[in-house]
Structure 1
Amino acid sequence: MAAVRAVGVSKRYPTVTALDDVSVEIDTGRMTAVLGPSGSGKSTLLHCLAGLDTVDSGAVYIGDVNLCGLDERRLTRLRRDRIGFVFQSFNLVPTLTAAENVVLPLRLAGRSPERAWVARVIDAVGLADRLGHRPAELSGGQQQRVAVARALVARPAVVFADEPTGNLDSLAGAGVLALLRRCVDEFGQTVVMVTHDPIAAGHADRALFLRDGRVVDDLPSPGVEQVLERLRAPRAAA
């Protein structure tokens, strides 16, 4: 079973159709990159797949659960328990330490952290010596590593990453991409990543290209040059 599915999904705004009858399956235990020019619908697709936005028609499934059939209370619970998020802007709570930010989703859910798993996640992101620091005392790359750890701590079915390296320099960005890749390879995590960066897409197992709200290309095992070629092609251009 696919980790996430969109079936005939459309999303319209007053002046634009952001998604136009999109159907796609996201493979379990793999990293999928979503690319396209500004306004192509890639972020809208991510938000609809993650249950952060509603669809006007079609359906979105996490596993066998149809998000479109859930009321707000059940949708909130599903996002809390089965979905992890990594945002471009980190979205850490500034008054909490790194350790407190990591376990925050569990605290909000009223769940006790599983110490062995939390320790494994902390080790994976390489922040054991920074756990007592608040976000303002961390570099951008370190803050994003905290965000990745927070996304993993509840053992989600899927981690959605929206331009996770967009606010980082190339070195810090490479570290975060390597970390997401490690999460897939070692933890069997499913990752869906929106990016504009061919280098970031080169870490993925698959690249989806959107234009005008539609999937126009689907590239397995993307290399950087292949991604650049697709982005330059007329069907993947703005």
Structure 2
Amino acid sequence: MMLFDPTAIIQPESSEAPAASARGLIKTYGQGDTLVHALRGIDLDLARGQFTAIMGPSGSGKSTLMHCLAGLDRASGGTLEVGGTQLGTLDDNALTIFRRRHIGFVFQSFNLLPMLTAQQNILLPLELAGHRIDDTVRERAQSLAGTLGLTARLDHRPSALSGGQQQRVAIARALITQPDLLFADEPTGNLDSAASADVLDHLRRSTREFGQTVVMITHDQAAATYADDVILMQDGRIV
């Protein structure tokens, strides 16, 4: 039995410009006999402050779409705007700076540095970008930790945290830079069902309490029920 009905999803009405917008987005790999059409003319608007899940079978193009939206890969055709910036106009250096300032990532494997505490892992993106860690930044980190249920665990290293707690640290680390878009790539893939529900609930709360725009790649229908919108992909198209 399906856990959600895609035909019942209602697109939210908003007068705000979308957080990201794609028109006629095409991505191909190879050439000649080895040419692969990963994206076939994608038209998409991602509403600000919404939690969107992108689903589809392996090879459907969902990861390629995320990589293009996140500026990790360049589209072969069409236009792509994120946070009011046309990504196709940026050179590689400008694209790297744009990602650092406007894009957040949460991965299946957590990717925390084992020698750092939870708080140090959360603050790391700002330190790498050369930001001064002042009282305002520390207050923001404390607020994130409180919302994500991490206040009592900030002095612990990853090895002393459960999988769900590590993933919540990864979410806080992604949110500390206040990105225009937060991408979560199979964020519950390494978690049991209870920890998965906990992490998904916190991702949903980040849209409610921080106004964050979250895009999650998942193959799990149960995970997708936490999202405001669900995009289904197949053969490089939104279906």
4+ runs of 1 displaced by more than 2 Å? none
Do structure 1's residue 7 and structure 2's residue 27 form an aligned pair? Answer: no
Q: 2: distance between equivalents of 1:116 and 1:63?
A: 25
Q: 2: distance between equivalents of 1:109 and 1:52?
A: 18
Task: Please list the CA deviations of residues 59-104 of structure 1 after superposition, one character each: whole Å capped at 9, or x if unmatched.
Answer: 2211210111111221111111111111111111222211111011
Larger relative CO (CA 8 A, sep 6+): 1 or 2? 2
Q: TM-score, normalised by structure 2?
A: 0.88
Pick aligned residue for 2:61 from 33, 37, 41: 41
Report 1:89-238 matches (<5 A).
89-113=109-133, 114-216=137-239
> Tell me, what secondary structure is at the counterpart of 2:178?
coil
Count of residues paired in the alignment: 216
Q: 2: distance between equivalents of 1:124 and 1:156?
A: 17
> Tell me, what secondary structure is at the counterpart of 2:131?
coil
Q: Which letter does structure 2 place at the counterpart of 1:38?
A: S
Q: 2: distance between equivalents of 1:57 and 1:46?
A: 15
- Percent identical pairs in the alignment equals 55
Structure 1, gaps ≥5 residues long: 217-238
Could you say which residue in structure 1 is the equivalent of 2:5? none
Q: CA deviation at 1:198?
A: 0.9
Q: 2: distance between equivalents of 1:8 and 1:73?
A: 25
Q: Which letter does structure 1 place at the counterpart of 2:146?
A: D
Do structure 1's residue 74 and structure 2's residue 94 form an aligned pair? Answer: yes
Structure 2, gaps ≥5 residues long: 1-16
> Tell me, what secondary structure is at the counterpart of 2:41?
strand
Q: 2: distance between equivalents of 1:57 and 1:136?
A: 44
Q: CA deviation at 1:115?
A: 2.1
Report which stretch shifted further, 126-135 or 150-159.
Answer: 126-135
Q: 2: distance between equivalents of 1:54 and 1:96?
A: 33
Q: 2: distance between equivalents of 1:76 and 1:95?
A: 26
Q: CA deviation at 1:159?
A: 0.5
